[in-house]
Amino acid sequence: MRLSQFHLRTVKETPADAEIVSHQLMLKAGMLRKLAAGLYTWSPLGLRVLRKVEAVVREEMDRAGAIELLMPTIQPQELWEETGRWQKFGGQLLKIRDRKEAGYCYGPTAEEVITDFARHELASYKQLPVNFYNIQSKFRDEIRPRFGVMRAREFLMKDAYSFHLDEASLAAEYRNMYATYGRIFTRLGLKFRAVAADTGAIGGSASHEFHVLADSGEDAIAYAVDAQGADASDYAANVELAEALAPGARPGATEAMRKVATPVQKTCEDVAALLGIALARTVKSVALMGDADTGFVLALVRGDHMVNEIKLAKLPGLGEYRLATEAEILEHLGSEPGFLGPLAPRRPITVIADRSVAALADFVVGANEPGFHLAGVNWGRDLPEPALVADIRNVVEGDPSPDGKGRLALARGIEVGHVFALGDKYSRAMDCTVLDADGRAVHPLMGCYGIGVSRIVAAAIEQNHDAAGILWPAAMAPWQVAVCVINPKADAAVAAAAEALYRELQAAGIDTVLDDRGLRPGAMFADIELIGIPHRVVVSARGLDAGTFEYRARGAGDAENLDRAGLLARLS
Ligand code: ATP
Ligand code: MG
Ligand code: MG
Ligand code: MG
């Protein structure tokens, strides 16, 4: 690529509305342009990086035996009615109507679509196990889109769905995907941790999140370390789960819930106390609130940001209760439209309920219907027992690790992947069956496996940047090498030498960009550093006279003068 024929548009000023460094650098480097809240155009430069990530994900999924297909972004309401998620998914589901008034949503995920595909395409156990994936845009109407593509509304996800005859096969594919995710994030050059996530009814190790470690992460993770701070065991969990597993967890939330759910003013601390929750250090306050879509929700708030919601209401019963309108919630919580914060710990909040305490008795604390988070858990499965919220207690750095092998250390993480054993939840709801070896129709067991392809781009920058800009891991860099030409318009020999080197590197399979824009050296180098190209080669008249090129690795100290052979050896 010749930069003179590309669209590169960098800016010097740090954009005022970008809070975290990845968002700032993506805007400064001209990778993104905001269209509306949570909606971004990827510029040609941004797209190059996104495609690199996509390619690694695709290669490793293919290598793992998964099969790519492509599902539409628009999904019909009827499918979502079959699983009950049309009502239950909540405010993140963007519902739309066509000219015939038929209902659709913009897919936030694709369990329904893939299960519909499977019930038509899979007939026999001989076709199992199978794992289908696609890399496709998703839309979630996030309460508070922020941090650019880190938490966008439209974003690119790789989502895979596997189908199995029995538990052993599902478990094997789960391990396969777990290992594949490790390979993907390693190849992408990211420092990451796989952590146990809340598994709901499935139990054991059937849900893991993959977190890129970064201080700007919205999640808190806990892991076991020894006295020297080295890993003491494999134990690593998201903090909510660590809290639930920690010794001394408090029972009795259901009882407490009944007391809370009366129409009285409480402070966040009161609500927390009644629920038996000592607030984790990472969670500064809680609020109980009503929401027209979801009924009652316990919101965990960090700073001014709602980090998680815990569903409190058992959904099938919800019709009997009056739900708060958004206007009421805003009036009580005094917040911007679409976001139910900020909330200070001592700020009075109103528990919105107009029914008797008795009527609330069948609310299930921690109900995890598909479509809702339970303490960091993804949609997609159930939690039958009502105790989990009660079991949350305060995890503090230095607490004994639940496996007894060390002390807990805490870190911030960005969730970039999530693997999940779903069981027969969707195949049963949508009556997807295959014939087993005895000719009986059975509901296949399913797993689902997501990766936030676009989020990874931002997460990588959080981990890899300096004062001058981005330091891409090799696998994600828009180009590996920038050949910078000093004064190409005035010096034909320099321009020709640079062109020859550029062609030679391209021919050697090294993804190279030729900076032939004719900028002054300072401005040119600043751009190349900002956009994070790992290797820079300068072609100048002085170098040409000496028979050398000036080489510098991004992030390394000094430049070196290398002859052609030395340079090629360095770059290949
Ligand atoms: P989060 O906890 O950050 O809201 P999630 O648990 O809701 O994510 P999943 O349903 O597990 O997300 O989706 C799979 C992956 O999609 C996530 O691990 C994450 O990397 C990515 N993802 C989810 N929501 C967004 C978003 N709003 N913007 C960008 N990527 C996202
Ligand atoms: Mg999550
Ligand atoms: Mg998740
Ligand atoms: Mg989410």
Q: Which residue has its alpha carbon closest to ligand 1 atom 4?
A: 151
Given this model, what pLDDT does residue 398 score?
76
What backbone phi and psi angles, to 5 degrees, belong to 49? -70, -45
At 70-85, the pLDDT tens digits run: 999 999 999 999 998 8
From residue 362, alpha-carbon distances to 107, 389, 532 in Å are 32, 15, 56
Given this model, what pLDDT does residue 385 score?
28
The amino acid at residue 352 is I
CA distance 510 to 484: 15
CA distance 345 to 278: 12
Pocket of ligand 1 (CB under 6 A): 140, 142, 151-152, 155, 157, 378, 415-418, 450, 452, 454-455
Asked if 277 and 375 count as a contact pair (C-beta separation under 8 A), the reply is no
Asked if 159 and 449 count as a contact pair (C-beta separation under 8 A), the reply is yes
Query: Of the ranges 45-49, 170-174, 254-258, 452-456, which one carries the lowest mean pLDDT score?
Result: 254-258
CA distance 552 to 558: 7
Q: Which residue has its alpha carbon closest to ligand 1 atom 5?
A: 378
User: Sign of the CA dihedral 418, 138, 533, 557?
Assistant: negative
Helix, strand and coil in the chain, % to nearest 5: 35, 30, 40
At 489-500, the pLDDT tens digits run: 889 999 999 999
Mutate to test the pocket of ligand 1, among 418, 449, 451 (most ligand atoms within 8 A of CB): 418
Given this model, what pLDDT does residue 245 score?
52
Higher pLDDT, 388 or 121: 121
At 346-386, the pLDDT tens digits run: 333 333 332 222 222 233 423 223 322 223 222 222 222 22
Residue appearing with tokens 């519909």: 116
At 173-216, the pLDDT tens digits run: 999 999 999 999 999 999 999 998 765 444 444 788 999 999 88
377 Cα to the center of ligand 2, angstroms:
6
- Residue 130 exposed, middle or buried by CB count within 10 Å (0-12, 13-18, 19+): middle
Take residue 328 and report the two structure tokens written for it. Answer: 């009421």
Residue appearing with tokens 């893991």: 208
Does the complex come out with an ipTM higher than 0.90?
A: yes
Query: Of the ranges 295-299, 395-399, 436-440, which one carries the lowest mean pLDDT score?
Result: 295-299
From residue 9, alpha-carbon distances to 26, 31, 315, 326, 468 in Å are 11, 9, 49, 41, 16
At 452-466, the pLDDT tens digits run: 999 999 999 999 999
Identify any residues that bridge with 452 across adjacent strands, giving them in sequence order.
Answer: 157
Report helix, strand or coil for 435: strand
Pairing label, strands 481-485, 512-515: parallel
Within 10 A of 321 (CB to CB), how many other CB atoms are there? 18
The pLDDT > 70 percentage for the chain reads 71
CA distance 114 to 133: 9
Average pLDDT of the chain to the nearest whole number: 78
Mutate to test the pocket of ligand 1, among 415, 448, 449 (most ligand atoms within 8 A of CB): 415
| Alpha carbon 497 to its chain's center | 44
Report helix, strand or coil for 571: helix
381 Cα to the center of ligand 2, angstroms:
14
* pTM listed for this prediction: 0.78
Residue 448 has pLDDT above 50, yes or no: yes
